[in-house]
Amino acid sequence: MRIVSGIQPTGNLHLGNYLGAIRNWVAMQDEWTAKGGECFYFLADLHAISMPHDPKALGENTREMTAALVACGVDPDRSTLFNQTQVPAHAELQWLLNGTARVGWLNRMTQWKDKAGKNRDGQSVALFTYPVLQAADVLIYQATHVPVGEDQKQHLELARDIAQKFNNDFCAEDAPLFVLPEPIIPPAAARIMSLRDGSAKMSKSDPSDMSRINLTDDADAIMSKIKKAKSDADALPSEAEGLEGRPEARNLVGIYSAMSGQSVAQILGDFGGKGFGAFKPALGELLVEKLSPINERFNTLRQDREALNAILRKGAEKARAASAPTLAATYDALGLVR
């Protein structure tokens, strides 16, 4: 059993990234390695060049994201953590699979249609073909399971179609080369909203730093951002229905729930009838308690370029070894002399 999952490297990581994405990786790692499975986690830096990007920022973001993942609990000894670029088999297998993938299949991808809009001719070829790279990302490791959100389901279907067609076209019936990976739907992740506007997503691109809790924020910054977070004048309701039409209140209670593991009902049982003057300090303290150890590790590690390079180097070595047999078998199946 092997999980493969990738994440785009970004900087300015915040509480939304932690609760919506990074924390799931840590939970999957703990769950899967406990039952003898393996997790391959990669920073999708090759995917980043499918859109306009700043080369200087890409390198920094790759290390920054690595630091955040490790600080949050991804363990490079238990999981294989690396960036795609250092494992050339991803790009090689993509080329080999380009012979199997059909233009019509890619034309049907809704992500392509959404991202390209009306200006298809102006897009990079990479934006069109990156679902084939995603197929290579998982097939190269013979992944049995791939966590997919709603927006990625279609791409995993494509990976299965490519694997199946390749197996049919180039392998003996009783000796298929590629495992068809199964989707796993991660537990519904919390969607964290801006601290300044309960209807906007917390995001790194929000110009106001007060709108988000950064993973680099210290205890003072966290307490003051929560204290100044937009709320309303009413007391908290004693039941969840009472949060309707109160997006800021709902978001703050949602954050408390995601960080504490308590249900919204439990939290309102404790805080119903109390105002934000009582709730905000409790939320701030909870965040400080849970985020301080992460924050400390993150701030140390993100400054240690050598340590981060070493983590990625070591992960890439493991990934290269794991990918080599499948890559060799693919070249052989296609009749390519090496």
Q: Which of 165, 201, 274, 290 is catalytic?
A: 201
Of the candidates 191, 228, 305, 313, which one interacts with ligand ATP according to CB under 6 A?
Answer: 191
Of the candidates 3, 4, 5, 10, which one interacts with ligand ATP according to CB under 6 A?
Answer: 10
Of the candidates 78, 196, 204, 274, which one interacts with ligand ATP according to CB under 6 A?
Answer: 204
Q: Which is nearer to ligand ATP, 69 or 243 (CB)?
A: 69
* Residue 204 designated active-site: yes
Of the candidates 21, 58, 72, 159, which one interacts with ligand ATP according to CB under 6 A?
Answer: 21
Q: Which is nearer to ligand ATP, 96 or 193 (CB)?
A: 193
Q: Which is nearer to ligand ATP, 71 or 179 (CB)?
A: 71
Q: What is the 3-state secondary structure (H, E, C) of the chain?
A: CEEEEEECCCCCCEHHHHHHHHHHHHHHHHHHHHCCCEEEEEECHHHHCCCCCCHHHHHHHHHHHHHHHHHHCCCCCCCEEEEHHHCCHHHHHHHHHHCCCCHHHHHCCHHHHHHHCCCHHHCCHHHHHHHHHHHHHHHCCCCCEEECCHHHHHHHHHHHHHHHHHHHHHCCCCCCCCCCCEEECCCCCCCCECCCCCCCECCCCCCCHHHCCECCCCHHHHHHHHHHCCCCCCCCCCCHHHHCCCHHHHHHHHHHHHHHCCCHHHHHHHHCCCCHHHHHHHHHHHHHHHHHHHHHHHHHHCCCHHHHHHHHHHHHHHHHHHHHHHHHHHHHHHCCCC
Q: Does 17 bind ligand ATP (CB under 6 A)?
A: yes
Q: Which is nearer to ligand ATP, 20 or 131 (CB)?
A: 20
Of the candidates 152, 154, 164, 203, which one interacts with ligand ATP according to CB under 6 A?
Answer: 203
* Residue 201 designated active-site: yes
Q: Which of 115, 165, 280, 314 is catalytic?
A: 115
Of the candidates 16, 131, 181, 284, which one interacts with ligand ATP according to CB under 6 A?
Answer: 16
Residues at the annotated binding site for ATP? Answer: 8-10, 16-17, 149-151, 192, 201-205
Q: Which of 35, 118, 165, 204 is catalytic?
A: 204
Q: Which is nearer to ligand ATP, 14 or 97 (CB)?
A: 14
Q: How many residues bind ligand ATP (CB under 6 A)?
A: 15
Active site residues: 115, 201, 204
Q: Which residues bind ligand ATP (CB under 6 A)?
A: 8, 10, 16-17, 19-21, 189, 191-192, 201-205
